[in-house]
Structure 1
Amino acid sequence: MSILHRAISALQRSFQSKEEIEDAYLAGSVDIYDLERRMRALDQRDTQEPFHLRHSI
């Protein structure tokens, strides 16, 4: 394995994916009502955010 390949792999592991961040956010809910509120907030964010900005770097 080249040094560049190992460096890129190490960088990718150090950043959380969007799914991991959202799962941690939902897991932090204190009860079912808080969980539902957080789920609605994520859904609203996804529908209000422009498509080209949602999938940009």
Structure 2
Amino acid sequence: MLRYAIIFLVIALVAAALGFGGIAGASAGVAKIIFYIFLVLFAIGLISHLFRKT
């Protein structure tokens, strides 16, 4: 699951670079959505990893 979170992070960074650079205005909105998805997946992965260790 952490692998998917990292993939979403890379996609969000690429979309953010395109959107915030003025190439595509819609990419900024997509980057925000994908970034929040990354944060949720990262938090879930981190919590599940912590509970699996104990």
Sort the TM-score into its range (normalised by shorter chain): 0.3 to 0.5
TM-score by length of 1: 0.39
| TM-score of the superposed pair, with normalisation by structure 2 | 0.40
Point out which structure has higher relative CO (alpha carbons under 8 A, 6+ apart): 2
- Larger Rg over CA atoms: 1
